[in-house]
A and B are shown apart, each in its own frame.
Chain A
Amino acid sequence: MQAQIKVKRFDPEQSDESFFQDYSVDVTDESTILDGLIKIREEQDGTLGLRCSCRASICGSCSMRVNGSAKLVCKTRIKEVAPNGEVISIEPMGNMPVIKDLVSDMDAFWSKVRSVDPYVKTDFKPEAEHIASNDSMTHLLGVMNCIMCGACVSECTALEVDSNFIGPAALAKAYRFVADPRDEDKNTRLSKLNGNDGVWDCTRCLACVEVCPKDVAPMERIVKMRELAIEEGYTNTSGFRHTDTFVESIRRHGRLDETRLALESTGLKNISGLIDLAIIGLKSLFRGKIPPVLPHRPKDFNKITSIVERLEDKRKD
């Protein structure tokens, strides 16, 4: 069958502008998008730039946007994406500069990985191997499956607005050490990850979980590290205050007290933060969007508070 593939081209030696180029290529039912792109490069257009290597979803080279969302093209069959010969759109990953065509500049990606001190830190020298439960190792296998393809970073909505955010890939990598029973630096790691640009910057949009080709579920690792950070006593963060006020508000009012949530999350001693908040408050006021000073009590108030109580009891267990 013929696959119709339009590729976003960019060659800084030729022009500052990118453009789409259409290709038509003969493929089989089994062909992956990577097979198609390689065929284009080998038979039609030697100037097409892309990275690829293993063809078996283990090297992480060929992450790119397929119809707007990042995928490993080596494990995406053309027939799945375009069962009736629809045009497939291929673009480089998002949230990264482009070197050429489908080749993304991953320098920032790797610097962020380096920033989490991604190696086991321990002074303990066992006589042979460390003794560890198979469960703890199998648990880490979930993160070790990460092949650093960049798909999660490509689709991260928090990175889109804040390029300083460490991001899902590096944070999932960090979790691999936080949760490694052999690592002796868990506390320092959590203290660092708890800071600016760290675990609390994730907006929990689930995009990373959805696009990860290896089921690493970066967001779940990030949420887990938030919990661990709180357990270790790192509570002086807007993230923790947000969580805490959120629960308190539901317990007290049966619904969200948005004014209080905003104030408490920012921190009542955080003057510059409060000034920023005041400006937002004023803008909301002019647009008629300011929440009520005290939230209305919902009619299922008793039911809601009993749910909160049950959850609290469960947590204490």
Chain B
Amino acid sequence: MYKHDLLIIGAGLAGLRAAVEGVRQGLNVAVITKVHPVRSHSNAAQGGINAALTDRGDDWKDHALATIKGSDYLADQDAVEVMCKEAGEALIELENMGVIFSRDDDGKLGTRAFGGQKKARTYFVGAITGSALLHVLYEQSIKYDLHIYEEWFVTKLIKDEGRISGAIAFDIKTGQMELISAKAVVLATGGAGRVFEPSTNALICTGDGLSLAMQAGAPLMDTEMIQYHPTTLSGSGILISEAARGDGAYLINSEGERFMENYAPDYMELASRDVVSRAEQTEIDEGRGVDGCVFLDLRHLGKQFIEERLGYLQEVALEFRGIDLSESPIPIKPGMHYIMGGIKTDLNGATNIPGLYAAGECANVSVHGANRLGANSLLDTIVFGRRSAVSSVEYIKSIQDLTPDERLLSREKSRIQSIIDRPKGMRSSELRLKMATSMTKGIGVWRNAESIENTSQIMKNIRGQLSNVYVENKGKIFNTDLVSFLELEFMIDVAESICQGASARLESRGAHFRTDITSRNDLEWLKHTIVELSDQGMNTKTSDVTITEWQPTERIY
């Protein structure tokens, strides 16, 4: 058995930021991650990180209001206040750690514009901001000599008298399974994009943390809030950053018209993502698209500008579509990108289970509500990653030495072995694809009672079929076949919880747009949906949204 004070699951930005804080606070910290830290999906954030810097005449309250309006008033405003107030400090700290942010003429941090905000307050590194941040936090993990279980897969959280006491995991490289005892656990496992197909998300984004938390008894919140990003490539779903529009690119339909004029005349291409995605889908549905796509047009920005500020986008366009962005518009469409919903936490990342914390995309402290603003996700990971570790310190000090029951390990070992021992059956990839395409179809940019109910039924059927899946690979070393099956088990939990949330919310708000109930209903639905696991399956209830000073009004861009 391994022993730590604080175990962090996931080594993306939220996980590494939490870990660095834990070490600084003097804790015995370990990070466990199913891929090497720099392979984490934080990499894929391209555009930047938002912060209102006061020495530039910006005001955190403006950032907060933009975030709250972007969330369609579903965000908890106390959480948004925390994030926006701490943003400046978080950003400067990242710079001081060594992030090579773009500079203005005075050598200070430079900005670009981003969606849903009138003021340019997005700080960036070319079009690789997430990658640049992740690599710098990995540098810090080396500086602090952080203990990392690299390429280890967590199968289960364990509890002792209602408190979290660690996790069970195996080393993917050797198959060795261990109980890792920890007084507190931070879940920082990122998103769940593979529950959908296509998705901008990496293949590792399988919602592990959401399922682990739910299985341990922590509720999920607002799971129906799935962000469809306005600019993704058809087929693979690969992301083209909002930075393109932030830096001035247009969206045009098959008639060459900048159609956003008809949907968001004030903000145009930089309206909130849910608004732009719906506009695009309307254009496509009404026959003004080409092969299910509209176009992103960067030609007027010029080759040099594109290569200097949007180099990675140019690389993606050239490599995956053979398109030079300075010469032709690129076909794009709305694609599943982010889950606003997640593990319900308080302002310090704490869940309802003593010792269990969550931060980043897997968590829902509720700063994004029904729609996340671009460049707020990196900020979320840094601010709440740090806070979760800080708040775990007092808790950890109050806990005596834990002695988790070793029988839990042998039970989990037999469970995994029984999966490997299944002699024949269907492949997990087949079920994954069925689940993911059904989710995109039923819980898409548009949804309604019928599509949600159908999808929900399909998910129940798929869960029933899980026991028919077999693992062809019987080996211990790097058995990705086994990993894929275990990920599918996690994903089905997430998929069902998404259907539950979607089915419960009888209004349209932000990313949750129902064609059968098209308006927002603040009277009855200024509420979070909460999904919990009980012995009978998943239950849904609601809780109030925290409003501090911004009363909901009509949302016009």
Q: Which B461-477 residues have a C-beta within 8 angstroms of A?
A: 471-473, 475-477
**With A75-B319, A99-B173, A99-B477: A58-B312 Cβ-Cβ less than 8 Å:** yes
In contact, A56 and B126 (Cβ under 8 angstroms): no
**Binary flags per residue of A296-311, CB closer than 8 Å to B gives 1, else 0:** 0000000000000000
A181 to B203, CA, bound (A): 37
A131 to B98, CA, bound (A): 12
By beta carbon, the residue of chain A nearest B130 is A58
Binds B, one of A137-145, A158-166, A256-264, A265-273: A137-145
In contact, A46 and B472 (Cβ under 8 angstroms): yes
By beta carbon, the residue of chain A nearest B319 is A75
Binds B, one of A47-55, A83-91, A226-234: A47-55
B235 at the interface (CB under 8 A from A): yes
Residues from chain A with Cβ under 8 Å of B43 in the complex: 54, 58-59, 147
In the complex, which of the residues B97, B132, B202 contacts A55, with contact meaning CB atoms closer than 8 Å? B202
Residues from chain A with Cβ under 8 Å of B131 in the complex: 58, 144, 147
Residues from chain B with Cβ under 8 Å of A52 in the complex: 203
Residue among A47, A56, A77 with most chain B CB within 10 A: A56
A279 at the interface (CB under 8 A from B): no
A61 at the interface (CB under 8 A from B): yes
A145 to B104, CA, bound (A): 21
In contact, B38 and A119 (Cβ under 8 angstroms): no
Residues from chain B with Cβ under 8 Å of A110 in the complex: 36
A272 to B61, CA, bound (A): 71
B522 at the interface (CB under 8 A from A): no
What's the minimum C-beta distance from A33 to chain B, rounded to whole angstroms?
12
In the complex, which of the residues B39, B126, B476 contacts A13, with contact meaning CB atoms closer than 8 Å? B476
In contact, A133 and B44 (Cβ under 8 angstroms): no
Residues from chain A with Cβ under 8 Å of B239 in the complex: 56
In contact, B107 and A131 (Cβ under 8 angstroms): yes
**Binary flags per residue of A24-49, CB closer than 8 Å to B gives 1, else 0:** 00000010000100100111011101
In contact, A58 and B128 (Cβ under 8 angstroms): yes
**With A11-B475, A30-B235, A129-B92: A134-B319 Cβ-Cβ less than 8 Å:** no
**With A46-B472, A100-B477, A106-B36: A53-B235 Cβ-Cβ less than 8 Å:** no
Residues from chain A with Cβ under 8 Å of B427 in the complex: 42-43, 46
Residues from chain A with Cβ under 8 Å of B202 in the complex: 53-55, 59
What's the minimum C-beta distance from B147 to chain A, rounded to whole angstroms?
14
B397 at the interface (CB under 8 A from A): no
In contact, B478 and A49 (Cβ under 8 angstroms): yes
**With A55-B202, A58-B43: A41-B480 Cβ-Cβ less than 8 Å:** yes
A103 at the interface (CB under 8 A from B): yes
Q: Which A101-128 residues have a C-beta within 8 angstroms of B?
A: 101, 103, 106, 110, 113-114, 118-120, 125-126, 128
Binds A, one of B137-145, B278-286, B290-298: B137-145
Residues from chain A with Cβ under 8 Å of B319 in the complex: 57, 75, 77
B96 at the interface (CB under 8 A from A): yes
B86 at the interface (CB under 8 A from A): no
Residues from chain B with Cβ under 8 Å of A145 in the complex: 128, 311
In contact, A133 and B477 (Cβ under 8 angstroms): no
What's the minimum C-beta distance from B430 to chain A, rounded to whole angstroms?
8
In contact, A126 and B96 (Cβ under 8 angstroms): yes
Residues from chain A with Cβ under 8 Å of B135 in the complex: 144, 146, 148
In the complex, which of the residues B55, B142, B204, B315 contacts A53, with contact meaning CB atoms closer than 8 Å? B204
What's the minimum C-beta distance from A23 to chain B, rounded to whole angstroms?
15
A119 to B143, CA, bound (A): 7
A168 at the interface (CB under 8 A from B): no
A55 to B319, CA, bound (A): 12
A140 to B102, CA, bound (A): 10
**Binary flags per residue of B58-84, CB closer than 8 Å to A gives 1, else 0:** 000000000000000000000000000
22 inter-chain pairs at a CB distance below 8 angstroms, sorted by A residue, are: A46-B472, A50-B480, A51-B35, A53-B41, A54-B39, A58-B128, A58-B312, A99-B478, A100-B475, A101-B478, A103-B478, A120-B98, A126-B96, A128-B55, A132-B103, A134-B110, A137-B103, A137-B125, A138-B102, A141-B128, A144-B125, A144-B135
**A-B contacts besides A119-B97, A144-B132, 19 pairs, CB < 8 Å:** A11-B477, A30-B235, A46-B427, A46-B471, A46-B481, A47-B472, A49-B478, A51-B35, A54-B41, A56-B239, A58-B43, A58-B44, A59-B35, A60-B39, A61-B35, A113-B142, A119-B98, A148-B38, A180-B100
Q: Chain B interface (Cβ within 8 Å of chain A)? A: 35-36, 38-41, 43-44, 53, 55, 92, 95-98, 100-110, 125-126, 128, 131-132, 135-136, 139-140, 142-143, 173, 202-204, 235-236, 238-239, 308, 311-312, 315-316, 319-320, 427, 429-430, 471-473, 475-478, 480-481
